[in-house]
Structure 1
């Protein structure tokens, strides 16, 4: 079953009940390998999914699915709220719900937010933003084995999404009340806040032109008047970079390292005109396609202030390992 998760849609989700049952039934450090395990009727019903060819042969897309709509939600101990396009909804917990752990409440809030926004979401790839890492992990991994309660909620969410032809992508965003702490705790590879030295950026523009849109930025470090931010958060942001078209002209792209692969795919899909900042790392899977698409590139100078945070008060500690390179891609 595990070997099919990359090629069978929702295979990971349908494998979770077996994993959970096995963990409850067998303790590797205590039970002998000869122990007989009793298969429950509930598990038999869950395993029946694997016997249908229509489930196993549906296939998966080669590349990551691009969200077309964003669901922003939050939850606390008193209730939940959601915002999606021009729709807002909220509610309070019932007494049984209020007794749940906060992680369960956050995940339950996702379910309630989805159902409240049903008419906007059917037949779409939906991006859910949350400041709770557990809420991000469980939907993206289609469940987990650490919490039976969270697994049950995740299965409920995905069953509902499957019935409404919705594919879910969860994205973590920092709490608006904890922006600085989130910046300081983020690793250099995962923060959107690293800004390129202004003089270096100007030299790039002199060589290739002035971009009209900064696709991975914030109000603090944007290199253009127009910018997109993480999950569309922040004043005057034009939205999440992966949910807007990159065909509006020359755009500036300096993504966090974990997003480079997804970014290269997006550039190819949109046939974009791009100034792209990324490391010279030939062993990475995205490097060969990037090199093939590039019409020009050059290594950025190794300046101690090349990358900075917090309006120039913090500098990147390990620039030598990045080998930052400016790339010019024009696929129009």
Structure 2
């Protein structure tokens, strides 16, 4: 006769007492106990049902031998271009069996392999391994030893960071709730605009985690979305390749920053802040053509910082943006000291006056690009009463009605989106370091 496995969890004395009673009950009932498979003395770590249960650390892990067996199977396949459905099923089965310890990553990173198995004609038929399937094998080969075991009772843990995300037709957004409530925002390019709403919502999650990875590092993060498909895909992946690639990227980011990510759905009414930010339209994400930048970077550079940029138009690796966005070095250029930079400066028109004052305040240097509008409010900040440029403007170049000087941003009707600009443009070399 066979009895299902089981174990008792309590303090040492209670477990010891229960062990004695249970042994006596089994003996008096006439059962013969398999002593080799029994653990009668209370312990805080044991192997049970193929897992290592560590009550001291509160985690479920995989026994060393089980990991070694998987490592051998993966190694035998990762350099092959063909494999049988039986071989693939053996690897996928071993990985899926670890889901209880490692979570949904076991399903997400076996999607392509599972689809190949489903395409089999018979078990020993040779199947061509796709590039995506090989990527999954490489992932397990490289990360088997670095995956973190799951906490046994995660519902007792309070999230250390809380995030709300959303996406509209033209932008992705997110709110990181911490001491300063950081805001993430990214305007979509034409490719992302053409994708499904689920793709854009998932893309917003991916970009937010990459952007704020350092702020979320080694943290238990709770992420909320009002799109149920996003929650499902983050948890188990997708059969659609573009969505699966995003799920793949999200988990790679979590591994890179050691983020323990938990996702949950919320009604739209409880996601109103992220929804509001996603509807923000950045009319000032136009930029300067790359050939223009290269010319002045050789002439007056090299430039060390792009003060007013976004992930879609930055010219220097170090750049400041309006919101947190992929690759940004900081939010709000006016919150940083420009004194140590040779800056590339292309501010929105309404910030030109403030930019000039801050350049002088920081005693900074850089190249400022402005339209030559002598009736604009910023014009007296550039020239004196005699119409001469201020002493801090040490050089300049004027482009008269230039063609293809600007690159259009999201607002296709902007004056900066026209091929020929409707006025002259000034490229001013500022140096206020001696003022």
* Smaller-chain TM-score bracket: 0.3 to 0.5
* TM-score, structure 2 normalization: 0.36
* TM-score, structure 1 normalization: 0.46
* Rg (Cα) greater in structure: 2
